[in-house]
Amino acid sequence: MYLNHVKKKVIIVSNRLPVSVAKIKESIKIRQSAGGLTTGVGALFKSMENSVWIGWPGISSEKAGSSKAEIVAELAKLRYRPVFLKKNAVENFYYGFCNRTIWPLFHYFTRYTEYNRKQYESFCKVNELFAETVFEIADKDDIIWVHDYHLMLLPALIKKRWANATVGFFLHIPFPAYEIFRLLPQRREILEGILGADLIGFHTYDYANYFLDAVRRITGLENRLGQLLVKNRVAKVDSYPMGIDYELFNGTAKKSAIKNEIEKIRKRTEGLKIILSIDRLDYTKGIPERLQCYELFLEKYPEFREKVVLIMIVVPSRVQLKYYQLMKNDIEKYVGRINGKYGTLRWNPIHYLYRSIPFNLLVALYNIADVALVTPLRDGMNLVAKEYIASKTNNTGVLICSETAGASKETGESLIVNPNNINEVADAIKKALILDEEDKKEPIGIIKKRLKRFNIYRWGDEFLNDLNEVKRYQSYMRAKRITDIAKAKLIKEYSLSEKALLLLDYDGTLVQLKEKPYLATPDKELIILLKSLTNQEDNTVVIVSGRDKNTLENWFGKLNVCLIAEHGAFVKEKGEWEKDPRIDDSWKQEVLPVLERYADRTAGSFIEEKEFSLAWHYRLSDSKLGSLRARELKSALYSLVGNLGLSTISGNKVVEIKYSFVNKGSAALRFIENKNWDFILAVGDDATDEDLFDALPEQAYSIKIGYDATKAVYSLESYREFRQLLEELSKAKPHKIGA
Ligand code: GDG
């Protein structure tokens, strides 16, 4: 069994508990509820002995009334902790924002999507209520695993109070493409809510990418291989295709009790091939559309009449919603029509059940069905497809699966169809029915092996393992954060130093990054600070920048600071600018046309021409297009820059081309080697500053601004924090007389 490594308590949080509580004549009835989250996470939960599941028990607060304490006590025996919701919240939160806004929108049903402010407010309140329950029963070092679209604000709410909590989030439904997601009025709030989690999981790689895309476009946060830096905390986004309890389905299918069920079904369907359809009642599942395909199949291939039966099980769900009632009526009318049109005295083409069936019967049906027709219009994963395959003991049977269900990614050996193409589905049914028995075995065998390996326990294990890893990485990053003790030591050593060297990057280190470089001018406070530092005894302050020399001269020319421009192409040490004698600009005429082509093709981007370097900025471009073009540009320049002795460097939304040997590190060396310094501090925020950190002697202090992988010894959160440190340094030593 997996999950052995999870020593900590896991708190599962989802909107619904896996059971529903009903109160019948003052007595409490608890029964299992049907649904993918319940089946999947439910199996996992049983194997995690010290975990607790928080969720709504499906009964309103008003109905529970005086029985609340009793319900809490009964559910506690199952390790469940109920969150009671008032009728009003059930209406506005659950039937409102969750199922009238998010559910249809995320499944691409924009025509059913309603936008209602009041319902969103209720969504916020219920998420807060769940947060309160988490704080009540969890310990700060528990693992809190939040599930699904009802609780997308919860991760950030937990982090707001417990900044270091371990929070995972898994979305069980699709995350839609940006053009759909952007329709949501609260799109930013929803993203920020989810981003409170340390690990964010989706069923498929596509959903994870759509999420990262939305994050990039809406919040501007870039990711590196799915890793995001959210307020200086690393969060990871990845895909974890949910598995099933393989052994439960496969093992049950082999039991003798199932054999009896199978016998009973066989008797009633003698001589008929069985096509199976099982879903919760939902428009996303494409039930009426499936009936249309079946009707076309009977019409197109009359030879199959009286030879097949479609067993259609529809499990009641969200019946309070108008669309669901209408759909139920439509389905029933449609079933009646097909049975009336094609049925005979001996044969009904469809056997329809509107109810939940017992588990043994479910497995028996999976085991015996010749074809499983799983054709949702859109489905996050769809566990029915997987359960059908797992329940096959003799490997005969054919799965027909929609390409728009997440499950199709792992059942590629089956018949994959576009559910909107009724001809294709009708033909697939025929193909499945006439397939040679031997030809059925191979695909089932391959998929079965996959399902057995990547089962629900493995799924949970991988998710929790990765969550652990992210937390480890976060603490490594935090460990770099300068402590009060180290900071005090740095200030003390500085105050005692007789020859101190301060090597300071400009953008992102001394000032905040701005959308356009010319907007990031030094403010008054910074100038005063720099004056104060340079007026201290025996200090050398060097601004080490990628900026051109004229800009630096304009801003700092009158201060007593040394300047390094264009990453070292120019140095001003003793009042005069010196150019690195090894460089020239002859290469620009070859590189500039390439950059211009990219600037023309990428709206919002522009070229900054410095004397000995060229920079292509894309901060104002569409972020996805910008990153894509940046990668293309680097590969387009690859051989050209190599031949000319140049290199391309990626900064913050900028690609810069300059001589390879020119970098902040080699430029700073002339200062570092100049004197016998007794204090050196180097500070920077981006990739180009890593060269500077590399060039430092061992005893030097180095600080990275922002929590990202770095060679610097310490890190600080922002330029603001660094200014505070500079403020303290500026008071730590006496000032020159008259200054
Ligand atoms: C959501 C996402 C995602 C169904 N009828 C009966 C019954 N079931 C069980 C099945 C299966 C589950 O319910 C249905 O799961 P699905 O995955 O097919 O669909 P959703 O409920 O919509 O689940 C979905 C899932 O979450 C997990 O992340 O796959 O995409 O929409 O396990 O066996 N069980 C019994 N009787 C029934 O009549 N006993």
Say whether pLDDT at 48 is over 70.
Answer: yes
Block residue for tokens 């006590």 = 73
Q: Report the nearest atom of ligand 1 relative to the CA of 172.
A: 28
- Does any ligand 1 atom lie closer than 6 A to the CB of residue 360? no
- What's the gap in Å between 466 CA and the centre of ligand 1? 26
Q: Report the nearest atom of ligand 1 relative to the CA of 385.
A: 18
- Does any ligand 1 atom lie closer than 6 A to the CB of residue 276? no
Encoded tokens for 672: 């570092």
User: How do residues 290-314 score in pLDDT, each as one tens digit?
Assistant: 999 999 999 999 999 999 999 999 9
Neighbours of 699 (CB within 10 A): 10
Encoded tokens for 36: 């993918």
Q: Which residues contact 131 (CB under 8 A, 6 or more apart)?
A: 154, 157, 158, 161
CB 605 within 8 A of CB 599: yes
Residues in the chain: 739
Say whether pLDDT at 732 is over 90.
Answer: yes
Top-confidence residue, 153 or 222? 153
CB 566 within 8 A of CB 546: yes
Concatenate the DSSP letters of all residues of 612-627 into one string: S-EEEE-TTS-HHHHH
Pairing assessment for the beta strands 227-230 and 223-224 based on DSSP bridges: antiparallel
Position 738 confidence tier, pLDDT thresholds 50, 70, 90: low
Residue of minimum CA distance from atom 10 in ligand 1? 384
3-state helix, strand, coil in the chain (%, to 5): 45, 20, 30
Residue of minimum CA distance from atom 27 in ligand 1? 36
- Does any ligand 1 atom lie closer than 6 A to the CB of residue 174? no
Position 4 confidence tier, pLDDT thresholds 50, 70, 90: very low
- What's the gap in Å between 90 CA and the centre of ligand 1? 22
Q: How far apart, in whole angstroms, are the C-alpha atoms of residue 266 and residue 436?
A: 21
Encoded tokens for 100: 């009238």
Say whether pLDDT at 604 is over 90.
Answer: no
Q: How far apart, in whole angstroms, are the C-alpha atoms of residue 157 and residue 170?
A: 16
pLDDT (0 to 100) of residue 1: 42
DSSP code for 335: H
pLDDT (0 to 100) of residue 702: 97
pLDDT (0 to 100) of residue 395: 86
- Does any ligand 1 atom lie closer than 6 A to the CB of residue 312? no
- Does any ligand 1 atom lie closer than 6 A to the CB of residue 383? yes
Concatenate the DSSP letters of all residues of 75-132 into one string: HHTTTEEE--B-HHHIIIIIIIIIIIIIHHHHTT-GGG----HHHHHHHHHHHHHHHH
Concatenate the DSSP letters of all residues of 488-551 into one string: HHHHHHHHH-SSEEEEE--BTTTB---SSGGG-PPPHHHHHHHHHHHTBTTEEEEEE-SS-HHH
pLDDT (0 to 100) of residue 7: 66
- Does any ligand 1 atom lie closer than 6 A to the CB of residue 186? no
Where in the sequence numbering do the catalytic residues fall? 505
SS (H, E, C) 208-247: HHHHHHHHHHHHCCCEECCEEEECCEEEEEEECCCCCCHH
- Does any ligand 1 atom lie closer than 6 A to the CB of residue 242? yes
- What's the gap in Å between 447 CA and the centre of ligand 1? 19
Taking residues 455-478, report their average pLDDT: 91
- What's the gap in Å between 318 CA and the centre of ligand 1? 14
| pLDDT more than 90, % of the chain | 78
pLDDT (0 to 100) of residue 735: 85
Instruction: Pick the closest to residue 175 from 147, 208, 215 (CA basis).
Output: 208
User: Which of 150, 383, 404 has most ligand 1 atoms within 8 Å of CB, for mutation?
Assistant: 383
- Does any ligand 1 atom lie closer than 6 A to the CB of residue 357? yes
Taking residues 432-459, report their average pLDDT: 93
- What's the gap in Å between 354 CA and the centre of ligand 1? 15
Say whether pLDDT at 590 is over 80.
Answer: yes
Position 23 confidence tier, pLDDT thresholds 50, 70, 90: confident
Q: How far apart, in whole angstroms, are the C-alpha atoms of residue 188 and residue 456?
A: 32
Residue of minimum CA distance from atom 34 in ligand 1? 34
Helix (H, G, I), strand (E, B) or coil at 350: strand
Q: Kindly list the distances between the CA atom of residue 651 and the CA atoms of 421, 617, 686, 690, in Å, as whole numbers in the listed order.
A: 48, 9, 6, 11
Q: Which residues contact 8 (CB under 8 A, 6 or more apart)?
A: 141, 142, 143, 166
Instruction: Pick the closest to residue 402 from 389, 391, 425, 418 (CA basis).
Output: 418
| pLDDT more than 70, % of the chain | 99
Q: Report the nearest atom of ligand 1 relative to the CA of 244.
A: 32
Block residue for tokens 């049907």 = 34
Encoded tokens for 20: 């529903």
When mean pLDDT is compared across 153-157, 198-202, 325-329, the lowest value belongs to 325-329
Encoded tokens for 531: 């004056």
Residue of minimum CA distance from atom 21 in ligand 1? 35
- What's the gap in Å between 95 CA and the centre of ligand 1? 19
pLDDT (0 to 100) of residue 426: 98
Sequence letter at residue 192? E
Q: Report the nearest atom of ligand 1 relative to the CA of 379.
A: 30
Q: Report the nearest atom of ligand 1 relative to the CA of 285.
A: 22
User: How do residues 350-380 score in pLDDT, each as one tens digit?
Assistant: 999 999 999 999 999 999 999 999 999 999 9
Encoded tokens for 266: 């066989």
Top-confidence residue, 527 or 707? 527
Neighbours of 244 (CB within 10 A): 27
Position 250 confidence tier, pLDDT thresholds 50, 70, 90: very high
Q: Report the nearest atom of ligand 1 relative to the CA of 407.
A: 29
Give the CA count within 13 Å in the CB-facing half-sphere of 177: 5
When mean pLDDT is compared across 187-191, 477-481, 681-685, the lowest value belongs to 477-481
Q: Domains of the chain by range and CATH?
A: 10-15+31-54+84-239 (3.40.50.2000), 256-453 (3.40.50.2000), 485-580+662-730 (3.40.50.1000), 588-659 (3.30.70.1020)
- Residue 468 φ then ψ, to 5°: -60, -45
Top-confidence residue, 686 or 383? 383
DSSP code for 378: S
User: How do residues 318-340 score in pLDDT, each as one tens digit?
Assistant: 888 888 899 999 999 999 999 99
Q: How far apart, in whole angstroms, are the C-alpha atoms of residue 101 and residue 99?
A: 6
CB 373 within 8 A of CB 275: yes
Say whether pLDDT at 652 is over 90.
Answer: no
Taking residues 446-458, report their average pLDDT: 92
Q: Report the nearest atom of ligand 1 relative to the CA of 282.
A: 22
- Does any ligand 1 atom lie closer than 6 A to the CB of residue 680? no
- Does any ligand 1 atom lie closer than 6 A to the CB of residue 311? no
Position 27 confidence tier, pLDDT thresholds 50, 70, 90: confident
Say whether pLDDT at 38 is over 90.
Answer: no
Sequence letter at residue 304? F
Neighbours of 175 (CB within 10 A): 26
pLDDT (0 to 100) of residue 114: 96
Q: How far apart, in whole angstroms, are the C-alpha atoms of residue 314 and residue 541?
A: 74
- Does any ligand 1 atom lie closer than 6 A to the CB of residue 72? no
Q: How far apart, in whole angstroms, are the C-alpha atoms of residue 444 and residue 450?
A: 10
Taking residues 195-213, report their average pLDDT: 96
Name the strands in the sheet holding 606-609, side by side, starting at the edge strand that comes first in the sequence.
Answer: 606-609, 614-617, 654-659, 646-651
- Does any ligand 1 atom lie closer than 6 A to the CB of residue 427? no
Q: What is the pLDDT of the chain when averaged over all its residues? A: 93
User: How do residues 618-650 score in pLDDT, each as one tens digit?
Assistant: 988 887 788 889 989 998 998 888 888 899 988
Residue of minimum CA distance from atom 23 in ligand 1? 36
pLDDT (0 to 100) of residue 625: 84
Say whether pLDDT at 481 is over 80.
Answer: yes
CB 385 within 8 A of CB 241: no
- Does any ligand 1 atom lie closer than 6 A to the CB of residue 361? no
Neighbours of 658 (CB within 10 A): 25
Neighbours of 403 (CB within 10 A): 13
- What's the gap in Å between 445 CA and the centre of ligand 1? 23
pTM of the model: 0.79
Position 416 confidence tier, pLDDT thresholds 50, 70, 90: very high
